[in-house]
Amino acid sequence: MSKVLAHSLLTDFDINLFKSGNHYKLYEKLGSHICERAGVKGTYFAVWAPSAQQVSVVGNFNHWQDGEHKLNVRWDSSGIWEGFIPDIGHGEIYKYKIHATHNGFVTEKADPYARRAEHPPQTASVVYKTNHTWNDKKWMDKRHKHNGLDAPISVYELHLGSWRRKQEEGNRGLSYSELATTLVDYVKKLNFTHVEFMPIMEYPYDPSWGYQVTGYFAPTSRFGYPEELMTLIDALHASDIGVILDWVPSHFPEDPHGLGNFDGTACYEHPDKKKGYHQDWKSLIFNYERNEVRSFLISNAMFWLEQYHVDGLRVDAVASMLYLDYSREDGEWEPNDQGGRENLAVISLLKELNEALYGAFPDIQIIAEESTSFPMVSRPVFSGGLGFGMKWMMGWMHDTLNYFKRDAIYRNHHHNEISFSMTYGFTENFMLPLSHDEVVYGKGSILGRMPGDEWQRFANLRLLYTYMYTHPGAKLLFMGSEFGQGTEWNFQDQLDWYVLDYEIHSNMQKAFAAINGLYTSTPTLYEKQFDPEGFEWIAHDDSKNAVLSYLRKGNDPKTLIVCVFNMTPVPREDYRIGVPFFGRFREIFNSDALEFSGTGAYKNVDLTVIAEGWNGKTHSTSITVPPLSGVIFELKAD
């Protein structure tokens, strides 16, 4: 009797969907699945290896002996090898031993669909069946209110391995379970609405930060078991905090146990190096033209949304996917069939991906990290867009950081840098990112970019965040930036939490929590954050004083938020601004407050709106704008 019994979870319909690129739940069919066959308990294995001559399951149960448990290739030309092995259960480790049909090539591969992987540097897959009862029905029923484009979206981006560490225990990272208390409390305290985890899919190499994935369906075992990650997500949801995962469909590493050269051929990667190899990242590019690969990618995105209840995906490196000439010189790429530089297969895949994900989960957000001017990234597919919910506003990020690093005496000559974003600010549904990419590779910290003495640097940072959190669009901030970490991020160590012992840093944290809280609790700042009706300039041209001012509008036409920013260390007293109507005018936030380590000397009280036109408006008022500060007012019509 064969050690591998004939068995299949795949129907003809599954095979047709898989081969046509339209199977969106392959994780239910491929990989390892604990089940019964004719009353016998065991595990069903299925793997796609179309160019293999023989595939065996090897592991501790057969002393890693090739040929002991040979899978059977399906008759339908799908390239899928499958079979049922009795008495193999939860926790068994395994790989696929694959013999190619040419040149005697033999390799051992981890299971592309495994739900769990060994702790790196070990590389085998684990037969695994999760056992978790979800407790987030209340959140799931109402998350459309938290993820909508008319909701406040303030995201805390973090790298799990270096947020906090147990230094007394070998400097290890916190487990998913430990994060379920410490992280949740912290994020809530700082008034964030969402967290975004840098990739937590299994990866072999710590310095990649998770962006070189080998186990697309397995949460990294560095921080614990799959159920512990589910517990963390449950805890975040219980505190009304959404969860976004970084997702990497743009490339994967060449590690021997990974997807590369899977069956002795370019199975998952494109066989043409001009389309299949990233010269910058020394990694392989998925073959987006191959239907089975398209099914793999869409199924993987669907998996995290369905099985882990995540509320969104941030799709990494979309620009590198969209353009055939991305980071390539002449002769290193070939035009598409229409003579252009766009990767047409990627465009069609992204449209299909977003339609499938939003069709299944209309209350999520899929966010593109896309750095070019590719049109309509965050517009619906039916209107010609790529179908993403949001897009990172990379232009805003670069212009703003370039502006803020300038000494204040020169800023009046670069006023256009800080006002330019609104010339295109509503062409997409933009998210404003100050991400991990801005605090690595010698760039220093966000605080480290700020000019001047210590007081000025912290004043500039408070000013930057006040501007960012009143500017139209969703927000994202990388961990540590909220309290003014002075050093560049180091993935091998925890954040510089010790600096919170110093008043200027703890007050910076208070200031951030306050402006974040103002954004997340003030409908006028978010109800129309992606709508040009939600924004109106007061004065974008006061370069002489380096002062910027604008109105934010929500659904209530009788309530406006007035935002004024002084980009110099010179206080602007008796500074007149125009407003569109008469009403009660009061200061609701001042980044120069004493409790934030500001001067506390420039307050706005007993303000009066008069019927004197200014800045093209029918009414006006006179205010004081402290040095290097942002001041936010509320105007309510009587």
Query: Which positions are annotated as active-site residues?
Result: 316, 369
**CA distance linking residue 203 with residue 221, whole number of Å:** 9
Reference 526, options 495, 552, 503; nearest CA is: 552
Reference 569, options 614, 483, 627, 527; nearest CA is: 627
User: Scanning the structure block, which residue is given the tokens 């959404």?
Assistant: 242
Helix (H, G, I), strand (E, B) or coil at 305: helix
Reference 601, options 572, 626, 580; nearest CA is: 626
218 Cβ contact list (under 8 Å, min separation 6): 114, 115, 116, 117, 125, 201, 202, 226
Count of beta carbons in the 10 Å neighbourhood of residue 409: 12
User: Scanning the structure block, which residue is given the tokens 């700082």?
Assistant: 190
Count of beta carbons in the 10 Å neighbourhood of residue 595: 10
User: Scanning the structure block, which residue is given the tokens 């977003």?
Assistant: 354
DSSP, res 617 = B
121 prior amide bond cis, ω within 30: yes
Reference 29, options 70, 92, 82; nearest CA is: 82
Q: Where are the beta strands (DSSP E) in 125-210?
A: 125-126, 154-158, 165-166, 172-173, 194-197, 201-202
**CA distance linking residue 465 with residue 468, whole number of Å:** 5
Largest interatomic CA distance in the chain: 96
First to last CA, the chain: 88
Structure tokens at 579: 């407003």
389 Cβ contact list (under 8 Å, min separation 6): 149, 312, 358, 364, 365, 366, 367, 378, 429
Instruction: Give the sign of the dihedral formed by CA 325, CA 331, CA 332, CA 334.
Output: positive
User: Scanning the structure block, which residue is given the tokens 């799931």?
Assistant: 140
**CA distance linking residue 195 with residue 156, whole number of Å:** 5
Reference 71, options 38, 106, 39, 96; nearest CA is: 96
CB-count exposure of residue 319 (10 Å: 0-12, 13-18, 19+): middle
Reference 319, options 421, 249, 398, 396; nearest CA is: 249
Reference 404, options 346, 438, 446; nearest CA is: 446
> 321, 249 in Cβ contact below 8 A?
yes
* The amino acid at 562: V
* The amino acid at 574: D
> 343, 326 in Cβ contact below 8 A?
no
C-alpha dihedral (143, 149, 155, 160), degrees to nearest 10: 50
User: Scanning the structure block, which residue is given the tokens 């699945």?
Assistant: 33
Helix (H, G, I), strand (E, B) or coil at 387: coil
